[in-house]
Amino acid sequence: MKRKESKYELIFKTPREVLQPFFIELAIFGGYDELLYIYDKQKKDVEMYLSSANRIKLARVGLKLFYDGKRIEKLLQKEYLLSQKFNIFLATINLTKVKATNKIWIKNILKDYYHHFVEYSNIYRFTESFYSPLVDQTIKTFISENIQNKNLVNYFCSLLLNSSEKEKVTKKRKEILFSLKADNKFIQLCDSVRKIGKAKLAMRTKLDNYWDFLEKFLEKIAKLLMISSAQIKSLFYSELLVILTSPKISIDRNTLDKANRRNEFFVAQKVSSKYIYYTGLNARNIANSVRPEIKENIAKINGDIASEGYAKGRVIILPVGISKEGKEKLKQKMTRMEYGDIVVAENIGPEMITVCHKATAMVADEGGINSHAAIISRELEIPSIVNTKIATKVLCDGDLVEIDANKGIIKILKKYVR
């Protein structure tokens, strides 16, 4: 019997050790509340899905935002002020003070952290790919309607969205806008994409630092409770506040059992404006209904064009380097990268920039016109294909591939045989 097609689309994958239930709840508070989250201890990644209805809704929100230059400016100004406040707050914290005798201080730090993080995350979320599909479509449609040679659409789009301030890039951008007879509305749309793109790399680095602090803070609290790092990261914020409010810092058996169940299999889903959390069989049934099937013997992968061009080379899979473990794996992998390799990753992050200049092309499972892969590849002027969904599952280190970023196609020319 053929499996029923899911109404959900896989949007993100993040290493499991980075996004455990505590962090999933924080992401929900931080504005990522339209996603469906699947945490499975048996898989290396946490999967995040978006329903068809929410994809359409958020894409419309994104288009309206990117047309509004003043709102974009206010958003970026607010991001700067919030990050300054957040950095000052974190600079005052001495983690050696995390002791049983300082439980009120610990609770206040946790509450203040949540306040700062939620505010900041609610700014950063607008840089995500699910806000940009209609922006991408609108820009390419405008270009297509105003040029005769349709083969130049992706080339023009790559140049117009390139956030580089190099003289040759800005000069070419002006020439293209003039040739298109671009109106102010179109110019503003492209300008907003470049501004958000330029800011995103720095914002992501800040967000990673905030995440790192919380991980260290929770691990300190875990030692006080005499539970594992995985267990404390499977508690909820409200549960931890209750523990820190009680006369003695300790965790009861019922709360610990709940955390252990979440650490095995956990699904978070929005139902009628409320977030519902599932564990056990209910969680597995939801996951099975949402997860897509991956076909075998795939010779060609399709994705969205982030930066046009053509390349051929060997694949190197780079892991996401957010957690301590992930950073170490990424560091080891980057030392093995050679000039001419094609970088393939779930998502390209700022932590990979130091080796991206070696790449002849980039491919990502995730992303859109404002993803890190798109931003970096346009500045480096190399081809890039994003939103492939399956590239890291189908491709392996050493595979010989052909990247046609004029059509959004990755062809597997030869599989690497060990």
Domains plus CATH for the chain?
8-128+196-290 (no CATH), 130-183 (no CATH), 300-414 (3.50.30.10)
- Altogether, the residues listed in the chain come to a count of 418
The enclosing H or E element of 367 equals: none
Three-state DSSP string of 177-202: HHHCCCCHHHHHHHHHHHHHHHHHHH
C-alpha to C-alpha distance for 288 and 55, rounded to whole angstroms: 20
pLDDT at 6 (0 to 100): 63
Residue whose token pair is 């990261």: 233
pLDDT at 406 (0 to 100): 93
Q: How confident is the prediction along the chain (418 residues), in pLDDT tens digits per residue?
A: 344 556 899 998 888 888 899 999 999 989 998 999 999 999 888 999 999 999 999 999 999 999 999 999 999 999 999 999 999 999 999 999 999 889 999 999 999 999 999 999 999 999 999 999 999 999 999 999 999 999 899 999 999 999 989 999 999 999 999 999 999 999 999 999 999 999 998 999 999 899 999 999 999 999 999 999 999 999 999 999 999 998 888 899 999 999 999 999 999 988 777 889 999 999 999 999 998 777 778 899 999 999 999 999 999 999 886 667 777 888 888 999 999 999 999 988 888 888 889 999 999 999 888 888 999 999 999 999 999 999 998 999 999 999 999 999 999 999 988 7
Which residue in 309, 298, 310 sits closest to 395, CA to CA?
298
pTM confidence score: 0.89
CA atoms within 13 A on the CB side of 165: 3
Question: According to DSSP H, which parts of 291-390 are helical?
Answer: 324-335, 353-356, 372-380
pLDDT at 326 (0 to 100): 72
Which residues, listed in sequence order, are joined to residue 400 by a DSSP beta bridge? Answer: 314, 414
For residue 372, what are the contacts with CB-CB under 8 A and spacing of at least 6? Answer: 200, 201, 204, 347, 348, 349, 350
- Residue 76: alpha-carbon gap to chain centroid: 19
pLDDT at 259 (0 to 100): 96
Amino acid at site 346: E
